[in-house]
Amino acid sequence: MTPQSSRHMPAEMHVEGVLAPDIRDCVAACLDCYQTCLTTAMHHCLEAGGEHTEPTHFRLMMACAEICRSAAHFMLLGSDDHARLCAECARICTACADDCERLGGMTACVDACRRCAEHCRTMAQ
Amino acid sequence: MTPQSSRHMPAEMHVEGVLAPDIRDCVAACLDCYQTCLTTAMHHCLEAGGEHTEPTHFRLMMACAEICRSAAHFMLLGSDDHARLCAECARICTACADDCERLGGMTACVDACRRCAEHCRTMAQ
Amino acid sequence: MTPQSSRHMPAEMHVEGVLAPDIRDCVAACLDCYQTCLTTAMHHCLEAGGEHTEPTHFRLMMACAEICRSAAHFMLLGSDDHARLCAECARICTACADDCERLGGMTACVDACRRCAEHCRTMAQ
Amino acid sequence: MTPQSSRHMPAEMHVEGVLAPDIRDCVAACLDCYQTCLTTAMHHCLEAGGEHTEPTHFRLMMACAEICRSAAHFMLLGSDDHARLCAECARICTACADDCERLGGMTACVDACRRCAEHCRTMAQ
């Protein structure tokens, strides 16, 4: 992606041109899912209690927030390994969406997870 | 913010309603600045070399990305301490904007840092 | 800390010599506190439920884990702003220790938070 | 791992008993590798310049630091998905060790990466 011989930069950098459009969209979907999972866990789940703070569900929410945060970081770093992180992110987002659907009342989180999973699956190919 | 007695949730949560609008805008500004600083450091700066990879400048870029990532996290957590993190974030973003301006050719990064600093200063009051 | 003129490295780097001993100790205390807070929240608190998953307490545990993670990151980056992050970390660790003490049964977390607060306060001076 | 019926805690929690010994060792190896990679990149590599700040090498160092940080986080969360993260961490640590070996003068980083890769491979099985 960045050959060594490219160490000459134009006078002005356009961030928009640095990342390919599909990568930028995937980063946006990951950061949106990260925000939604973390907010939902720390507000909706903690306030609702019961099934919502059961270890298995709550840990999955937190793991989903973390993998989304980290997959976005890999894409921003320009790491060659981002595809594998995205594959893992898609898997965890899907599991999280399924679990939120099972509990009900968490449409926003389900939607963000499904959207992120779709972007990440494309990126992983 | 969340009294114990509120442990009854409506059937459906609206994430939009969980965070106050000014907090959501500040989170967005922080995550935008995080993305711009990290991308700029890992692409523009590493590819340009010279002054752009000097320890003092490069570390400031990385510190700016980290504090933006962390200030956003605090706001999403709903932590009572987010205002202090935002104050620190505003300070580092301003230093980063100044240093990018000094080097030139990094308008996108300067703009994202200034925007984030403004949102964080408001949040810190 | 790293003047431009120092861009000549010895043949072998000794990581041990890169960070000053007091900084290394503070990083160790921060990462220990991060581990203890996160583990305690995700295992002890979620399994105990009740007061342990009340939003105010649980968010403080998560905020403490995050600021410890981030303060350590700043010290490892070699950022000039690490002292301010450490000051904030000391404050949050102390609040977290107090709240864990109030609930009882969380000695390990109280100890890790107090130790980290002490190291961070020294660093902040 | 944590059945719902276990929501009764002993009076005192022993953090030492929360995570299995092999997981604790793997977390320690990951956090050690994270510290070493980040410190080496931000001090040794930035100060040495030349090959050490070439995009491909430097990004690999940063990706290695991030995956170690995140794999540790997954283990601390008690996430069922930690094994896959560890598998990915082992892969990236090995690539990073190889690349540091190629450049030379980075023994501490090579050692930390190899040690972490070994722990993560065991965890991934």
What predicted TM-score, i.e. pTM, was given to this entire model? 0.91
CB-based contact D9:C101 (threshold 8 Å): no
Q: Which among B40, B44, B58 is the top mutation candidate for probing chain D, defined by the most D β-carbons within 10 Å of its own β-carbon?
A: B58
Query: Tell me, what's the pLDDT at C22?
Result: 94
Residue entry with tokens 């649980």: C58
C-alpha span between D75 and C18 (Å, rounded): 28
CA distance B50 to chain C (A): 10
Query: Considering chain B, what is the average pLDDT of its residues?
Result: 90
- Between D25 and A2, the more confident residue is D25
B10-14: average pLDDT: 47
Q: Which residues of A touch D54 (CB under 8 A)?
A: 4
Are B46 and D54 a contacting pair at CB < 8 A? yes
User: Could you read off the pLDDT tens digit of each residue along chain A, which spans 125 residues?
Assistant: 333 334 444 445 445 568 999 999 999 999 999 999 999 999 999 999 999 999 999 999 999 999 999 999 999 999 999 999 999 999 999 999 999 999 999 999 999 999 999 999 999 99
Determine the residue among D40, D45, D53, D73 to mutate to test chain B binding: the one whose Cβ has the most chain B Cβ atoms within 10 Å.
Answer: D53
What whole-number distance in Å separates Cα of residue C8 and Cα of residue D49? Answer: 8
**Residue ranges of chain D whose CB lies within 8 Å of a chain B CB:** 42-43, 46-47, 49, 53-55, 58-59, 62
- Read off the pLDDT of residues C67-81 as tens digits, 9 standing for 90 and up: 999 999 999 999 999
Q: What is the pLDDT of residues B40-80, one digit of tens each?
A: 999 999 999 999 999 999 999 999 999 999 999 999 999 99
Contacts of B117 (CB under 8 A, 6+ apart): B89, B90, B91, B93, B94, B97
Render chain A in DSSP notation, one character per residue. ---GGG----SS--HHHHS-HHHHHHHHHHHHHHHHHHHIIIIIIHHH-GGGG-HHHHHHHHHHHHHHHHHHHHHHHT-TTHHHHHHHHHHHHHHHHHHHHHH-S-HHHHHHHHHHHHHHHHHH-
User: D65-101: per-residue pLDDT in tens?
Assistant: 999 999 999 999 999 999 999 999 999 999 999 999 9
Stated as kind and residue range, the H or E segment containing C40 is none
What is the spatial distance between Cα C55 and Cα A43, in angstroms, rounded to a whole number? Answer: 7
Residues A4 and D54: beta-carbon distance below 8 Å: yes
**pLDDT at position D8:** 45
pLDDT at D1: 35
**Domain layout of chain A by residue ranges:** 18-124
Token pair belonging to C46: 């979620």
Contact C62 A42 (CB under 8 A): yes
Give every residue of chain C whose pLDDT is below 70, as ranges.
1-17
Question: Do A113 and A97 form a contact (C-beta atoms < 8 A)?
Answer: yes
Helix, strand and coil in chain D, % to nearest 5:
80, 0, 20
Per-residue model confidence (pLDDT) at position A18: 82
Contact D108 C14 (CB under 8 A): yes
pLDDT score of C17: 63
Q: Are C60 and B79 in contact (CB < 8 Å)?
A: yes
User: C18-124: which CATH architecture?
Assistant: Up-down Bundle (1.20)
Rounded to the nearest 10 degrees, what angle do helices C55-77 and B55-77 cross at?
Answer: 180
**DSSP string over D3-23:** -GGG----SS--HHHHS-HHH
The ipTM estimated for the assembled molecules is: 0.88
User: Encoding tokens for residue A119?
Assistant: 């972007």
